[in-house]
Structure 1
Amino acid sequence: MSEYYDPETYPQAWNYLQTGTIIDQYMIERELAHGGFSSVYLARQLEDQVQVAIKEYLPRKLAHRTWNNVVTPNSDESKTLYLRGRALFFEEAKVLANLKHHNIVEVINFFKANETVYMVMTYDYGLTLDKILLKKIIPMNESFLLKVFNDLLNGIAEIHRQNFLHLDIKPANILIRAQHDPLLLDFGAIQSFPVAKNSNRTKVLTKGFSPVEQYTNQTRLGPWSDIYAVGASMRACLDYKPPVPAPIREQEDTLIPAVKAHKTKYPEYLLKAIDWAMAVQPEDRPKSVAELQQALNGEN
């Protein structure tokens, strides 16, 4: 038998840690989500039974889980990339452990085990904004948008104050808690700012939400890059679908401005703020969170 589980024969064992697995001081309850580089689990602290979320580094193109849960690179060629990614994941955990804000997911612990690394976060109840939009669970209106995105921008401002960029803001990474209280999730694309020109960080791109400058190494990233993603997330709330991807808009912008497309439902100041944040070229956008918040509050 192969030393690791065949994903076709044992799909469940391959994809995630099993219920009841104990890692460090936590017991896994179930998987919450997974992507190409990691999985997120609901777990409990053994000492006090408090629920937490645990993110495990496991890039499935580079590594696999063996029968005893040890994560191993797929080949000698993939080992270098795996180890570099693991180091970056650990650095991300260190950064997040020092980022404390009500609207930013809180990292309470991080550790190495099973030849990989784990990030432990507080577990919050709510629904991600993409699911809310898909099922139209909450009616979109001016008060909802202002509450959610003003609070979210407060958290983003703290990230920028500490000289970091999130670079993956989108409805799927915005958890809406009770009283429409947002929480920004998933800092897998985080970079320090100013970003080094020859940065070796893997690009994280989401069609419709990533600005044009994230697609190239020629244009400088900055707070305005996160601001585009915030504007695009707000526009998704108006249209109930992702906006036209930025590179397509750069070639030929067919996106009807919000001030025209939604003028009968929302006030002009709000729609103008969204259009400003979503300007294709970085120099045409707000340069800071404060500028965008002033526009959202009708102060421009």
Structure 2
Amino acid sequence: MTPVAARETLRPGTLLGSYRILKSIAKGGFSLIYLALDENSGEEVVIKEYMPKKIASRDPDQRIIPITPDYTENLHHGRKLFFQEVKALASLKHPNIVRVLAFLLANDTGYLVMPNERGRNLGSYLHERKGGLSTTFLLEVFVPVLDALALMHRRAMLHLDVKPGNIHLRHGNQPLLLDLGAVHPLNRGRARGGQVITAGYSPVEQYFRAGQVGPWTDVYAVGASLRTCMDGRTPQPAPDRQKEDKLLPAKEALKDRYPPFLLEAVDWSLAMDPAQRPQDATELLNVLAPHLDDPQLSRLTQETSSELLGESRRI
């Protein structure tokens, strides 16, 4: 088996159009993330470079090439999908979806340019808190996320990688849905599975190419994210649940800590059978949104926006 080469990042100072790379700030399975400076405006931006971990490497001229010739077609196909998906994302205008500032082609790959939003990652915040996030906090974060997903679903697009680590918290707990690289256009009805997988958050239909993914797939991931925020543990992976479901319903496991409407919504979203879930983000949003400004819930708030003030982290 061919060993996977370490992915080299672009060197600081590298110029991509008007954007100068300052440093590498993150790595994902399919991309490298950089902080850069827009030399036209003087603003810092975040740039995402398409470079899949298992099949690509960088040559001395900084071009992205397959690790072996066997991966040439895979790399070409993945790059084509990345271009298509970024084009679709650029059409989305929503305050809770990361904006596309520009898209560049260079080094035989693509570069997605986004604003550098200050704040912190929900996944990191959750790790520190060990779960137990309040109902008010969860509604403040997930109602806007569902609204963003509802727009995507109306545009026949799926996110396919919703999880706490892909939700960025700005000032006042205002969420930003990140890492749209897995987004899948539904051009011809229902799409098939076999997409990006995150254990615990991806429903069973996402694991198999014969699986029929749809808006209900994102709904499962939202339910799993809410459940993680509640009990501090990632839910049992869907294939394991299919064999032996050990995930206690939220309305049983957490009945003394959260209101019935929220627990029922989480259990509904986490149904193993896609037909038994809310069929899109709007359906779940309509259940949760009316409770967003409920004064009774305000008394139960354990977190306040001030906890996030003074703390900042780049995407």
Same fold at TM > 0.5: yes
Which range moved further: 115-124 or 214-223?
214-223
Which range moved further: 246-255 or 228-237?
246-255
Give 1:72 shift.
2.1
2:204 paired residue among 196, 207, 212: 212
2:43 paired residue among 47, 50, 60: 50
Please give the per-residue CA displacement for 1:164-212, whole angstroms capped at 9, x wherever unaligned: 111111111111111111111111221122666786x862011000011
Which range moved further: 250-259 or 137-146?
137-146
Aligned residue number for residue 234 of structure 2: 242
Question: Contact 1:132/1:138 (CA < 8 Å) preserved in 2?
Answer: no
Give 1:263 shift.
1.2
Which residue identity is paired with 1:70? Answer: R
The whole-number CA distance in structure 2 between the counterparts of 1:100 and 1:203 is 25
The whole-number CA distance in structure 1 between the counterparts of 2:244 and 2:9 is 42
The whole-number CA distance in structure 2 between the counterparts of 1:197 and 1:101 is 24
Which range moved further: 109-118 or 130-139?
130-139
Give 1:127 shift.
1.5
The whole-number CA distance in structure 2 between the counterparts of 1:290 and 1:197 is 18
Question: Contact 2:200/2:224 (CA < 8 Å) preserved in 1?
Answer: yes
* 1:99 matched to 2:92: yes
The whole-number CA distance in structure 1 between the counterparts of 2:187 and 2:87 is 19
Cα gap change, 1:47 to 1:167, in 2 (>3 Å): same
Give 1:63 shift.
2.2
Aligned residue number for residue 299 of structure 2: none
Which residue identity is paired with 1:209? Answer: Y
Cα gap change, 1:297 to 1:26, in 2 (>3 Å): closer
**Which runs of 5 or more structure 2 residues have no equivalent in the other structure?**
292-315
Please give the per-residue CA displacement for 1:112-167, whole angstroms capped at 9, x wherever unaligned: 11121111112211212111111129961010011111011010011011111111
The whole-number CA distance in structure 2 between the counterparts of 1:241 and 1:208 is 9
Please give the per-residue CA displacement for 1:257-283, whole angstroms capped at 9, x wherever unaligned: 111111111111111111111111101
* SS at structure 2 position matched to 1:276: helix
* SS at structure 2 position matched to 1:32: strand
* 1:261 matched to 2:261: no
Aligned residue number for residue 28 of structure 2: 35
Question: 1:109-148 residue pairs with structure 2 within 5 A?
Answer: 109-136=102-129, 140-148=133-141
The whole-number CA distance in structure 2 between the counterparts of 1:47 and 1:194 is 37
Tell me the matched-pair count. Answer: 288
Which residue identity is paired with 1:230? Answer: V
Aligned residue number for residue 225 of structure 2: 233
Question: Contact 1:195/1:221 (CA < 8 Å) preserved in 2?
Answer: no
* SS at structure 2 position matched to 1:148: helix
Which residue identity is paired with 1:295? Answer: V
Moved over 6 A (4+): none
Question: Contact 2:191/2:212 (CA < 8 Å) preserved in 1?
Answer: no
Cα gap change, 1:137 to 1:263, in 2 (>3 Å): closer
* 1:18 matched to 2:11: yes
Over aligned residue pairs, what C-alpha RMSD do you find? 2.1
Which range moved further: 212-221 or 239-248?
212-221
* 1:157 matched to 2:183: no
Q: Which has the higher contact order (CA 8 A, sep 6+)?
A: 2
TM-score (norm 2): 0.86
TM-score (norm 1): 0.90
* 1:291 matched to 2:268: no
The whole-number CA distance in structure 2 between the counterparts of 1:28 and 1:297 is 41
